Amino acid sequence: MMKNAVVMIQARDSDKAYRVSYSDLYDSFEVNYQVNTSYEISFTLTYTKQFADVFDACKPKAKVFWDGQYYIVQQAETEINGQGLLTKKITADHQLLDKMRNVRIDEPEPTEDNPDVSGSGTDNSAPDNKEGVVIKRTDEQKYYTINDRLDKFFNNNDQGIKYELHGNFAEIAVDCKDSLFEWINSHIKDFGAYYIPDGD
């Protein structure tokens, strides 16, 4: 049986939330939390006149409130069950994952391997560089703390999200690019860390 029996659903374009039938939750509610992999809930709604509003409100990108956290509906698959009743199978990710997908660094940071080049790309004032050859030190790598890398994404982000660190972590050589969601799922283990979403 689930820890907290109250689940509310709010359509994306509405400010009104509707309670999910306890009988639907009792029969189908599941929590799939796998560290650094998945933070989702799933359940099946059954269409009844009494719960028609919650059935209609539950579409992709609707908000689901459960156990003090918000989730965002990713899938809502409608079908007829074995008893001939209209149902919706709902899968919802923690809302923080959606917000992490919206925080992006699309250009890699300038480094010796990837210099920030402006102008025409050739420097006529440098006689030693007539062929456009770039000399770089390939043996040197810059190592970063996890704080430094996360700050690149979190500082001044437009999603209003933040992070807290607990523990001591390795320093590694890694660039910041793509979405925060992609980056954290690819590199958090490299630091010897894991993440758990909580609110924002």
Amino acid 37: pLDDT:
81
pLDDT of residue 187: 93
Q: What confidence score (pLDDT) does residue 1 get? A: 41
Do β-strands 38-46 and 63-66 pair in parallel, antiparallel, or remain unpaired?
unpaired
- Name the pLDDT band for 141 (thresholds 50, 70, 90): confident
Q: Is the pTM of this model over 0.75?
A: yes
pLDDT band with cut points at 50, 70 and 90 for residue 183: very high
Report whether pLDDT(7) > 60. yes
pLDDT at residue 118 in the model: 45
Looking from the CA of 157 toward its CB, the CA atoms found within 13 Å total 22
The sign of the dihedral angle between the CA atoms of 13, 19, 21, 27 is positive
Phi, psi of 141 (to 5 degrees): -130, 145
pLDDT, mean of residues 166-175: 93
